[in-house]
Amino acid sequence: MTGPLFRHGGHRTYAKNRSQGSVTAEFAVVLPALTVLLALLLLGAGVGIVQLRLEDAARSAARALARGDSAAQAVETAGAHAGSAVDISVSFDGGFATVTARGRMAGPLAGIVPWTQSATATAKVETGLGPAPAPGAAPHVVERYADWPVAGPPPGAGRYS
User: H/E/C letters for each residue in the chain?
Assistant: CCCCEEEECCEEEEHHHHCCCHHHHHHHHHHHHHHHHHHHHHHHHHHHHHHHHHHHHHHHHHHHHHHCCCHHHHHHHHHHHHCCCEEEEEEEECCEEEEEEEECCCCCCHHHCCCCEEEEEEEECCCCCCCCCCCCCCCEEEEECCCCCCCCCCCCCCCCC
Cα–Cα distance measured from residue 89 to residue 115, given in angstroms and rounded to the nearest whole number: 18
Which has the minimum average pLDDT: 27-31, 49-53, 138-142, 152-156?
A: 152-156
Cα–Cα distance measured from residue 96 to residue 89, given in angstroms and rounded to the nearest whole number: 14
Cα–Cα distance measured from residue 70 to residue 133, given in angstroms and rounded to the nearest whole number: 13
64 has pLDDT over 60 = yes
Which has the minimum average pLDDT: 17-26, 60-69, 77-86, 101-110?
A: 17-26
Residues ≥6 apart with Cβ < 8 Å to 75: 61, 88, 90, 142, 144, 160
- Long-range CB contact pairs, 15-18, < 8 A, 24+: none
- Please choose, from the candidates 155, 93, 138, 147, the residue with its C-alpha nearest in 3D space to the C-alpha of residue 120: 93
Mean pLDDT score, 99-125: 88
128 has pLDDT over 50 = yes
pTM for this predicted structure: 0.64
